[in-house]
Amino acid sequence: MREQHEQVAAAVCRAVAELPDRNSPPDWPEAMLVTHDELRQIVTEAVGSYGVQVRAQALEEAATAVTQHDRKGRGWVRDSLWDTLSNEAGGRIRALTPRSTHA
């Protein structure tokens, strides 16, 4: 989770640094000049993107858990009704993933 937070922060900083027609004050070269509205839009987009990634990751984990359910347990029959239903449920969960995150 910490890694994703760092990625969002880096995306925000990069977007602010890439704003056109901006120069830091000569006596404060590390400063990034941004208006309230610009920063609000940049943060909103970065957080929205992060939410999509988190949702996609959670859906994939759920789909994997469903499709791998007790496959090594006693009595598991490959291509059985339970196997077919588990795979179908995993596919339906994966179908909920936003299209922009599909591999």
Q: What is the pTM of this model?
A: 0.54
Residue 70 scores a pLDDT above 80: no
Residue 103 scores a pLDDT above 50: no
Q: 11 near 46, Cβ under 8 Å? A: yes
Residue 53 scores a pLDDT above 60: yes
Average pLDDT over the chain, rounded to whole?
82
Q: What percent of the chain has pLDDT over 90?
A: 22
